[in-house]
Chain A
Amino acid sequence: DIQMTQSPSSLSASVGDRVTITCRASQGINNYLAWYQQKPGKVPKLLIYTASTLQSGVPSRFSGSGSGTDFTLTISSLQPEDVATYYCQYYNSAPRTWTFGQGTKVEIK
């Protein structure tokens, strides 16, 4: 089985900072890698799919990159409304499974 390791588990940054979250696969995967934002007490929201495609309506300060084993979610300028837990998620086609990373809690310093 492919293992996904997300890091860091939490981070604290100032408003306006550039924030980077990483998801690493135990072996090379296709680009079926998505990122979600979950605010406290709320439903997860899709931010990025296929590693780098911004979901409609998501602010452009969010971006995704990577290929192979290493993928990154970047918030170019952290805003107070970005306080949330972020999850990566990988789709494996054989067998068909969808696996989430452990999550990264983002707070404002």
Chain B
Amino acid sequence: EVQLVQSGAEVKKPGTTVKISCKVSGYTFTDYYMHWVQQAPGKGLEWMGFVDPEDGETEYLEKFQGRVTIIADTSTDTAYMELSSLRSEDTAVYYCATATGNPDSFDYWGQGTLVTVSS
């Protein structure tokens, strides 16, 4: 059974950095990209970027370029998403998601991690 298990909720101050983990099981971690999706309270879904665990290649949405880093640790089958220079608008639920079927759509999702940015 494919599972993506994310780390717990975080409360951060503006200007700091948050790092969220996503541990996978049930499939070969290096076979599929790991993506991250942001959902602000009451808002829609926004794709942030992905990492290819096979070789560490990443691509990020331009909006997050320079502030987001996504990495994959193949020794622990865990992906991480780090977002820096946090501001109140970054308060959101962050999901990891993968596409084990077609690469164009996400068939497995983590449970989500709420990040609250507040002074």
Please list the residues of chain A having a beta carbon within 8 angstroms of any beta carbon in chain B.
32, 34, 36, 38, 43-46, 49-50, 53, 55, 85, 87, 89, 91, 95-103
Q: Are A43 and B95 in contact (CB under 8 A)?
A: yes
Task: Say yes or no: B109 contacts A43, CB within 8 Å.
Answer: yes
Contacts of B107 in A (CB 8 A): 46, 49, 55
| Measured CA separation A96–B106 after assembly (Å) | 14
What per-residue 1/0 map shows which CB atoms of B82-103 lie under 8 Å from chain A?
Answer: 0000000000000101000111
Q: Which of chain A's residues have a CB closer than 8 A to the CB of B103? A: 91
Chain B contacts for A43, CB-based, 8 A:
95, 109-112
Contacts of B75 in A (CB 8 A): none
Query: Which 8 residue pairs are nearest across A and B when measured between Cβ atoms?
Result: A34-B105, A91-B104, A32-B104, A49-B105, A98-B47, A100-B45, A103-B44, A43-B109
Interface of A is mostly: strand
Q: Which of B1-59 contact A (CB under 8 A)?
A: 35, 37, 44-47, 50, 59
- Known contacts A43-B95, A98-B47; A49 and B102 CB within 8 A of each other: yes
Q: Which residues of B contact A100 (CB under 8 A)?
A: 37, 44-47
Query: Is the Cβ of A49 less than 8 Å from the Cβ of B44?
Result: no
Contact in complex: A44, B59 (CB < 8 Å) = no
Min C-beta distance of B59 to chain A, whole Å? 5
B44 touching A89, Cβ below 8 Å: no
Contacts of A36 in B (CB 8 A): 45, 106
- Contacts A97-B61, A98-B47, A102-B44; is A89 near B111 (CB within 8 Å)? no
Residues in B with CB closer than 8 Å to A46 are: 105-107
Give the shortest distance, in Å, between B81 (CB) and chain A (any CB).
15
Q: Is the CB of A97 within 8 A of B47?
A: yes
In the bound complex, residues from chain A placing their C-beta under 8 Å from that of B44 are 85, 87, 100-103
Closest Cβ–Cβ distance, residue B6 to chain A (whole Å): 10
Distance from B24 Cβ to chain A, minimum over Cβ atoms (Å) = 15
- Contact partners of A53 in chain B: CB under 8 A: 102
